[in-house]
């Protein structure tokens, strides 16, 4: 079938050769000689099965291209899966980061509340200590004032007694005191 189509194509191409001068089927006609050489060349190509080999090479190349396309599709699918995996991981990491930030905020708020309570307790302790120091200072001041008042009163009494005291009365008081101490000791 191929040979028939080839010979029809060749005869159609040889139509201009018929327009040449002289007999066509003569070896002196260059067109006829070229046609014979071409037909022999095509015959050799068909005998050696060059079209089949070319077809086989083209089929092999097509199969290689198909295999490359399949490999590319597989790589594309693998890349899509890998991308989806990375996107999922990124979402998980983002969610985890959000949870960590939320936990940190909660912990910070709790720490701030605890620090406020500790500060309140510390202030209360310091106020209590200051009030105790103020009370102790007031008590010391009152005690000092009393002691000073007592010493002033004793000094005034001593001065008053010294002015009013006569030597005879002093001797009588000393004798009475000695007698009272003696009575209490025995």
pLDDT tens for residues 154-165?
Answer: 888 878 777 777
- Please tell me the predicted confidence (pLDDT) of residue 20: 52
Average pLDDT over residues 10-18: 54
Give the pLDDT score at 59.
95
- The pLDDT tens digits of the residues spanning 62-99 come to 999 999 999 999 999 999 999 999 999 999 999 999 99
Percent of the chain past pLDDT 70, that is, above it, reads: 88
DSSP code string of the chain: -HHHHHHHHHHHHTGGGGGSSS-TTSTT-HHHHHHHHHHHHHHHHHHTTHHHHHHHHHHHHHHHHHHHHHHHHHHHHHHHHHHHHHHHHHHHHHHHHHHHHHHHHHHHHHHHHHHHHHHHHHHHHHHHHHHHHHHHHHHHHHHHHHHHHHHHHHHHHHHHHHHH--HHHHHHHHHHHHHHHHHHH-
């Amino acid at each position: 079938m191929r040979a028939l189509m080839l010979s029809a194509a060749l005869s159609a191409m040889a139509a201009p050769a018929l327009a040449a001068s002289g007999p066509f089927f003569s070896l002196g006609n260059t067109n006829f000689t070229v046609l014979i050489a071409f037909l022999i060349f095509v015959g050799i190509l068909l005998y050696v099965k060059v079209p089949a080999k070319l077809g086989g090479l083209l089929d092999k190349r097509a199969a290689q291209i198909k295999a490359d396309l399949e490999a590319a599709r597989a790589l594309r699918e693998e890349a899509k899966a890998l991308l989806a995996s990375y996107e999922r991981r990124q979402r998980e990491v983002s969610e985890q980061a959000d949870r960590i930030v939320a936990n940190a905020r909660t912990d910070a708020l709790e720490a701030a509340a605890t620090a406020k309570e500790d500060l309140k307790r510390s202030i209360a302790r310091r106020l209590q200590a200051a009030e105790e120091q103020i009370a102790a200072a007031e008590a010391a001041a009152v005690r000092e004032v009393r002691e000073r008042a007592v010493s002033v009163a004793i000094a005034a009494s001593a001065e008053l007694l010294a002015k009013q005291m006569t030597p005879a009365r002093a001797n009588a008081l000393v004798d009475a005191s000695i007698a009272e101490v003696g009575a209490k000791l025995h």
